[in-house]
Amino acid sequence: MNIELNDDTQSLINVVNKFFPGKVEVQFIGQLQSGYVRHDQAQVVQDGKNLFVQVSDLSAPNYTASHELLHLLMTLRGFPQVFFSLSTGDDSLDEQLEIMGTELFDIVAHFVVVSEQRKHGLITDDIEKMYLKGIQNTIEPEPKELDNAMELRLLTLIDAHVFYGDKFDDFARPTLEKDYPVALKAADKIYEIITKKPTDSPFGLRRNVVKLFRAFDEQLTAWGLPALHNNEYATISSVVSERQLNLNVKQQFEIFHSELHDKKTNRRAYVGFNKSDDQNSFVIPAPTGMDDSPEYFKKLYALSVKDLFKELKMPYIIRK
């Protein structure tokens, strides 16, 4: 099947290539056309210096490719990223936590992605119908007794809110209310929390991701489900002003010993929490030998934020 991307998607590829030092290409894998759209229908694969956006479902190639390209562009243009440097010691649990943490982070990124797609006419009435179908293919209707799948239902419905925006009530609510009444009520509440302030800048994105992590956990706990603890587990790159960069670490962060381990070294981990939002902002493996002392942390706290990030090779964003 020969697929030609439209001009808008093509120009997006060109923009991404301007910012990326290697080459970015879109590839179509297989022949599958499920008839719905979902965010797992494409992935970015790195091969040496090049990146390939691989689209594995050809139902809506322009929508799916542009969605992935915009995520990529956000990273290249200096929006925060999410990192997972901690380990519970259980690989499959780590994987689950990372998937959920990334999904939650992406929901907030979708405020930017979807708005750009709509601006360029990449979300049509057909795409909106296919998205609704995608939801129904992702989550089962709620059973009478709430089950563990409530987590996925909640995640999916918050994302649907972001996708439909002010069309949600007319287009999606009547269908979703029938099958997912409890999850939808919770999603409504959380959507309100993450739209109080706009996601229109790197700082705005970080702020709303932190809010979403917290609100999502509160809801899971209310349902008697285990919280994800992404405020501790997921590291989000910092958005700091020039002034904050020159402050001492002590003025901006608190460093705590974590129950979890540093993934790379498998040593105990220390987590730096931003004092203003209590979010994991960097992870330090416990120093070895003589260095593991209060003196070491005194030194860390005395560094400027800029020097600490440099030492940790931790990317950060300057708040404009």
pLDDT by residue (tens digit) across 93-145?
Answer: 999 999 999 999 999 999 999 999 999 999 999 999 999 999 999 999 999 99
Same domain, 45 and 99: no
Mean pLDDT for all residues in the chain: 95
Same domain, 124 and 204: yes
- Which of 253, 271, 252, 275 lies closest to 261 in space, CA to CA? 271
Specify if 260 maps to a domain.
yes
Range of the structural domain that residue 306 is part of: 237-318
Same domain, 131 and 194: yes
Same domain, 205 and 246: no
Same domain, 34 and 102: no
Question: Computed from CA positions of residues 202, 208, 214, 220, in that sequence, does the dihedral angle turn out positive or negative?
Answer: negative
Mean pLDDT of 312-317: 94
Q: Do 272 and 229 form a contact (C-beta atoms < 8 A)?
A: no
Q: Is the pLDDT of residue 290 over 60?
A: no
Specify if 147 maps to a domain.
yes
Specify if 295 maps to a domain.
yes
pLDDT by residue (tens digit) across 21-31?
Answer: 999 999 999 89
Same domain, 179 and 280: no
pLDDT of residue 292: 61
Please tell me the chain's helix, strand, coil percentages from 3-state DSSP, rounded to the nearest 5. 55, 15, 30
Instruction: Choose one of 77, 112, 144: the last residue of a domain.
Output: 77
- Residue 2: pLDDT band (50, 70, 90) is confident
Instruction: Choose one of 161, 194, 227: the last residue of a domain.
Output: 227
Q: Is the pLDDT of residue 185 over 60?
A: yes
Same domain, 73 and 152: no
Instruction: Choose one of 48, 77, 106: the last residue of a domain.
Output: 77
Task: Please state the domain count of the chain.
Answer: 3
pLDDT by residue (tens digit) across 39-84?
Answer: 999 999 999 999 999 999 999 999 999 999 999 999 999 999 999 9
Same domain, 222 and 95: yes
Q: Is the pLDDT of residue 12 over 80?
A: yes
Specify if 44 maps to a domain.
yes
Mean pLDDT of 198-216: 97
How far lies 216's CA from each of 19, 104, 196, 200, 305, in Å?
34, 9, 16, 21, 30
E strand residue ranges, 2-100: 24-28, 42-47, 50-55, 82-83, 86-87
Same domain, 128 and 191: yes
Same domain, 163 and 182: yes
pLDDT exceeding 70 applies to what percent of the chain? 98
- Residue 287: pLDDT band (50, 70, 90) is confident
Same domain, 218 and 246: no
Same domain, 219 and 259: no
Specify if 83 maps to a domain.
no
pLDDT by residue (tens digit) across 250-270?
Answer: 999 999 999 999 999 999 999
Angle at the Cα of 219 from the Cα atoms of 217 and 224, rounded to 5 degrees: 95
Q: Is the pLDDT of residue 295 over 90?
A: no
Mean pLDDT of 184-210: 97
Specify if 84 maps to a domain.
no
- Residue 1: pLDDT band (50, 70, 90) is low
Q: Do 130 and 59 form a contact (C-beta atoms < 8 A)?
A: yes
* Least confident span in 21-25, 96-100, 159-163, 293-297: 293-297
pLDDT of residue 92: 96
Which pTM value belongs to this model?
A: 0.95
Element (H, E) at 188: helix 181-194
Specify if 284 maps to a domain.
yes
Specify if 115 maps to a domain.
yes
Q: Is the pLDDT of residue 293 over 80?
A: no
